Amino acid sequence: MYTFEDMQKMDRVRLGNMVPLELFRTIRLIGMNQGLPMGGKGTTLTVGRKIGESLPVSSVEDLLALFEELKIGIPRIVYSDEHRLNIAVEDCFCKGLPTLEEEKMICDLEGAILEGALSKLLGRRVSVREIKCNATGHEYCEYEVKL
């Protein structure tokens, strides 16, 4: 079984360790969102949680730093109390895409990654919901975490 650490082992001489954002978007939006039944809802949640659980992080700060290092987006905590945490994400992978006509937020995988990682960190199931998205005309994406 592969681990996240395995993913960091690279030996690709000519093309290096980066792939273009349009490839990530194509996998996410054309492959998963448009290619799976029901917009890939359940599958995306399962995939995202699994990814989140695999991340080698030992604190929320670590997680937010890795989220940025992986260039998913630049997260910051905009609200926090004992029941709720709101995380805004600037420069999300979806920034600049044409705005969708329907009120359909598209960064569900990224929320599920946060959900998996936070559930593992806190030792109990938390739930994460995307409440703002560039793709539906907001200035940034934002997740609400129910602790």
Q: Please tell me the distance from the alpha carbon of residue 137 to that of residue 56, in angstroms, as a whole number.
A: 33
Q: Please tell me the distance from the alpha carbon of residue 81 to that of residue 2, in angstroms, as a whole number.
A: 36
Min separation Cβ 142 and Zn ion, Å: 9
Helix axis angle for 41-54 and 108-122, nearest 10°, is 40
Q: Please tell me the distance from the alpha carbon of residue 81 to that of residue 86, in angstroms, as a whole number.
A: 9
Min separation Cβ 82 and Zn ion, Å: 27
Tell me the DSSP string of 66-104: HHHHTTS-EEEEEEE-SSEEEEEEES-TTTTSPPPSSS-
3-state secondary structure of 45: helix
Min separation Cβ 129 and Zn ion, Å: 12
Min separation Cβ 135 and Zn ion, Å: 5
Binding site for Zn ion (CB under 5 A): 92, 94, 107, 133, 141
